[in-house]
A = this chain, B = another copy of it.
């Protein structure tokens, strides 16, 4: 038997069935070969649905790999609307010639990440493309969750005077991948922050109630792009204080070396929340008691004007307008 993926593994026939039944189904606890899973939905509430494809290069990077990234990323997309993530699907596009051992490691990571996040991978699909028509592995995960009654988050709910909270340090995922890709090493090593945030979100939803207006995880495009989305969708301005931005020294050093701005660097285990000022202190206390929120802090606030703009108050006292990422400073980071 080949130790590499062949075109026949994507044919729908015997080789694909064996690949699935010997490698994927046991890892994910799946039964049968049907194309759709049927699930009891015990929880009450509205449905949250999301999708994300992962094309990160390289597939393995310090602190993680494409598999756990694909699980955590979709869990987080659901968590950002206040949903309890329940079910994921997994679509694999494998390049002919991929080592089956690498695929197995990635699948194991997905299974472990799903277990840690408390979600089930319930449906999957496997395609194989010719050598030179893919890049090792692309993974799509789609997710289904339930938004508890009473929870309704949207940038449209942001009000003047609300504060912006960040859950921890910025820029770790993007710089870990870029360092790996550039062949740079740092001491201590830069590690991706990939993790599932649904546990932290559960604490936040409980602590802040209706004071929690909106959440988003600043992945591709980084903190600046997410704040710009908040500004545009709310019709308000978002002001942030440069001095308060939690950029760890390793990320700052790597950004300096590679000519990147940490404001635009991707994160995969970080969230930005906009909350009413009156609940912010209690919320911060509750967040800090959670392992993923121990570094939570306020980085800015919503202002009435200039509408749709993000302002950065610099450490030397000036103010500059921050726009979205132009072009592609960090390709294939997730």
Contact = CB atoms under 8 A, between A and B. Distances in A.
Contact of A325 (B14, B87, B127): B14
Looking at A34, A155, A233, the one whose CB has the most chain B CB atoms below 10 A away is: A34
A122 interface: yes
A252 to B, nearest CB: 21
A55 to B, nearest CB: 5
Given A50-B37, A53-B127, A11 B135 contact: no
Contact of A38 (B11, B13, B147): B147
Interface in A93-126: 93, 122-125
B12 A35 contact: no
Interface string A159-176: 000000000000000000
A134 B83 CA distance: 33
A37 B48 contact: yes
B49 A122 contact: yes
A155 B16 CA distance: 19
Contact of A89 (B51, B81, B332): B51
Contact of A328 (B11, B83, B155): B11
Contacts of A54: 127
A140 B252 CA distance: 36
Given A35-B80, A36-B77, A81-B38, A49 B134 contact: no
A138 B93 contact: yes
Contacts of A77: 35-36
Contacts of A128: 328, 331
B53 A47 contact: no
Contact of A225 (B12, B51, B93): B12
A266 interface: yes
Interface stretch (A177-185, A213-221, A242-250, A303-311): A213-221
